[in-house]
Amino acid sequence: MGDNVILVGFMGAGKSSVGRLLARRLGRCFVETDDMITAQEGRSIPEIFAERGEAYFRALEEETVRLLALKSGDVIATGGGLPCRDGRPAALQAMGTVVWLRGEFDAVYERAQRAGARPMLAGRGRDDIEALYRAREPFYRQADLTVDTTGINPDQVVAKLLLLLRAKVSLSSLGRGLQGQEPT
Ligand code: S3P
């Protein structure tokens, strides 16, 4: 298993800014699945959606997940829809620690709208987007760790996340220590 840190969450959750900061803090490489796709296709995500449609984009994501399996020790920010397929959360967990950046819908919605250029938001009303958010929650919820991002900035999210990651590492080494002990 590659010991990557894989960030998942809805559009506007802050995966890119948190991922970049976290990678710097840990001295790791930062990778975005959307960047892997645009580099491979030679066109932007909105262009891919406009010219080839969502199904084609999802097939590119599928291919990207296969490439992610080759990575080790990276911080990876995934596109908002990437973990939301049956079996996908487990596939990501096989590659490292999956972290859900969870934000209240209102906050995430507002940020996603502000950042613009998101084809999944184009032509959709607020209720429709909230329905998409709710439909995706069960996939995000399968993450190994959850950080609530509501009301805090990316620096604060990274601070929280580092605490959780360190606690997870100490717990797993404690687990290994216990397994090695002979019963008395
Ligand atoms: C998508 C989210 C986008 C991008 C694409 C589809 C989605 O990434 O992958 O526009 O389905 O939620 P961000 O979550 O970084 O906006």
**Is the distance from CB of 36 to CB of 104 less than 8 angstroms?**
no
Task: Determine the atom of ligand 1 nearest the C-alpha atom of 84.
Answer: 11
| 184 residues of the chain, pLDDT tens digit each | 579 999 999 999 999 999 999 999 999 999 999 999 999 999 999 999 999 999 999 999 999 999 999 999 999 999 999 999 999 999 999 999 999 999 999 999 999 988 778 999 999 999 999 999 999 999 999 999 999 999 999 999 999 999 999 998 877 777 776 665 555 4
Angle value at C-alpha 107, between 105 and 112, nearest 5 degrees:
90
The tokens of 109 are what?
A: 């919605």
**Is the distance from CB of 61 to CB of 91 less than 8 angstroms?**
no
The CB of 11 under 6 Å from ligand 1? The reply is yes
- Taking the centre of ligand 1 as the mean of its atom positions, its distance from the CA of residue 136, in whole angstroms, is 12
Task: Determine the atom of ligand 1 nearest the C-alpha atom of 33.
Answer: 9
H helix runs in the chain, sequence order: 15-26, 33-41, 45-52, 54-68, 88-93, 105-115, 126-140, 154-179
Asked whether the whole model's pTM tops 0.75, one would answer: yes
The CB of 136 under 6 Å from ligand 1? The reply is no
Secondary structure in 3-state letters for 86-122: CCHHHHHHCCEEEEEEECCHHHHHHHHHHHCCCCCCC
- Which amino acid appears at position 32 of this protein? E
